[in-house]
Amino acid sequence: MAMCIKAMGLMRMRFAIVDGEKVEAIPKAKGICPHCESEMIAKCGRVKVWHWAHKGNPPCDPWWESETEWHREWKNQFPIEWQEVSHIDPGTGEQHIADVKNPFGLVIEFQHSILNPEERISREEFYKEMVWVVDGKKGDLDESYFNMGLSGPIQKSPLAYQVEWWGRSRLLHNWAESKAKVYIDFGKDVLWRLVLFDQTKKIGVVGPLPRSAFIDDCHKGKEISVSELPEEETEKGDIGNTLYI
């Protein structure tokens, strides 16, 4: 059995093994953790999403974020066998649970809560081939500030917009130094890739991508697409005319 890292805290998972099958929580059910083989019990209340919890709450992955409906809606875009997949370092035996891992090796992590820089760096170094999808609706006014700060487009191929951040939250700051691609989800049909962000000037560059295109590319194992505009004039923003990808 691969090494599982123990940590204190609550860990809510969507799946457990029951009679050899990977299943979701149902009232009064018991199962086995697919990752550390500990006993799990179903938590099926009226408030929180139904989930599995390790009996006695000994979570086996300190990186795991308790699931929200937002997580579930995203995971539902992918086959069950791609969800909550163990990713193991063959050299050290270190094991973590990827939100989604497609058969082509791409890990997709859905992040709702604030993530400290040390853990973000650790995850990116561990998974290597990964992308982030960040919940942009966590802050009440973040979407409004984002839309107010958009200007451009400043580039048509790939399509890029300048964004100036006026909000108090650190939505863009927190992801400015990520080495993996970051897509912000405001609950609309378009995701916004954070291409770069100057934390001092509070000015960045973002690129729109239809949610359906993102999901389709992940399903097919293709490089995630970028959007383009027809040949026409675009405005030059303060960032300049560098080709943003």
In a domain, 53, yes or no: no
In a domain, 129, yes or no: yes
In a domain, 59, yes or no: no
From edge to edge, which strands make up the β-sheet containing 51-54? 12-13, 51-54, 39-43, 30-32, 15-18, 21-24
User: Alpha helices, DSSP H only, in 76-139?
Assistant: 117-127
Range of the domain at 191: 102-245
pTM above 0.75, yes or no: yes
- Write out the E strands in 169-239: 181-185, 190-198, 203-210
Give the pLDDT confidence of 132-141 residue by residue, as tens digits.
Answer: 999 999 988 9
Give the pLDDT confidence of 203-232 residue by residue, as tens digits.
Answer: 999 999 999 999 999 999 999 999 998 866
Pull the structure tokens for residue 29.
């059910």
244, pLDDT greater than 80: no
Following DSSP, what letter does each residue of 138-149 receive, concatenated? SSTTHHHHHHHH
Give the pLDDT confidence of 180-204 residue by residue, as tens digits.
Answer: 999 999 999 999 999 999 999 999 9
The strand pairing partners of 88, in sequence order, are 95
Task: Note the pLDDT of residue 170.
Answer: 94
Place of tokens 């992590």: 109
In a domain, 175, yes or no: yes
Place of tokens 């650790």: 122
58, pLDDT greater than 70: no
From edge to edge, which strands make up the β-sheet containing 150-156? 83-88, 95-101, 107-111, 130-135, 181-185, 190-198, 203-210, 159-164, 150-156
In a domain, 97, yes or no: no
Report long-range pairs for 185-194 (Cβ below 8 Å, ≥24 apart): 185/70, 185/74, 185/133, 185/134, 185/135, 185/136, 185/137, 185/211, 186/136, 186/137, 186/142, 186/143, 186/146, 187/136, 187/137, 187/143, 191/133, 192/136, 192/146, 193/226
> Among residues of the chain, what percentage have pLDDT more than 70?
87
150, pLDDT greater than 80: yes
In a domain, 65, yes or no: no
- Domain total in the chain: 1
Task: Note the pLDDT of residue 2.
Answer: 37
Alpha carbon distance, N-terminus to C-terminus of the chain: 41
In a domain, 76, yes or no: no
7, pLDDT greater than 60: no
In a domain, 12, yes or no: no
CB 81 within 8 A of CB 101: no
